[in-house]
A = this chain, B = another copy of it.
Amino acid sequence: MPQQGLLIVVSGPSGTGKGTICRELLRSNPQLKYSISATTRQPRVGEVDGVNYLFVAKDKFQTMIHNDDLLEWAEVYGNFYGTPRQYVLEQLNNGYDVVLEIDTQGALKVKDKIPEGVYIYIIPPSLDELADRIHKRGTDSLETIKKRLNCAGGELTQAQNYHYIVVNDQVETAVQKIETIITAEKHRADRNSDLISRLCQTNCT
A196–B156 contact, CB under 8 A? yes
A193–B163 contact, CB under 8 A? no
Q: How many residues of A contact B (CB 8 A)?
A: 38
Taking CB atoms and an 8 Å cut-off, the chain A residues in 143-188 that contact chain B are 149-151, 156-157, 159-167, 177, 180-181, 183-185, 187-188
Tell whether A76 is near chain B: CB-to-CB under 8 Å: no
With beta carbons under 8 angstroms apart, the residue of B165, B193, B199 that contacts A196 is: B165
Taking CB atoms and an 8 Å cut-off, the chain A residues in 115-142 that contact chain B are 121, 123-124, 126-128
Assembly CA distance A123 to B121 (angstroms): 32
Tell whether A200 is near chain B: CB-to-CB under 8 Å: yes
Q: Which residues of B contact A185 (CB under 8 A)?
A: 184
User: What residues of chain A have their CB less than 8 Å away from a CB belonging to chain B?
Assistant: 121, 123-124, 126-128, 149-151, 156-157, 159-167, 177, 180-181, 183-185, 187-189, 192-193, 195-196, 199-200, 202-204
B163–A189 contact, CB under 8 A? yes
B202–A126 contact, CB under 8 A? yes
CB distance from A19 to the nearest CB of B (A): 20
Q: A180-B183, A184-B180, A187-B166 are in contact. Are A151 and B193 (CB under 8 A)?
A: no
A126–B203 contact, CB under 8 A? yes
Q: Which residues of B contact A151 (CB under 8 A)?
A: 196, 199-200, 204
B196–A159 contact, CB under 8 A? yes
Q: Which residues of B contact A162 (CB under 8 A)?
A: 189
Q: Which residues of B contact A181 (CB under 8 A)?
A: 184, 187
Q: Which residues of B contact A184 (CB under 8 A)?
A: 164, 180-181, 183-185
What are 16 A-B interface contacts by the 8 Å CB criterion? Answer: A123-B199, A126-B199, A126-B202, A126-B203, A127-B199, A150-B204, A156-B199, A157-B196, A159-B189, A161-B189, A164-B187, A165-B188, A165-B195, A180-B183, A180-B184, A184-B184
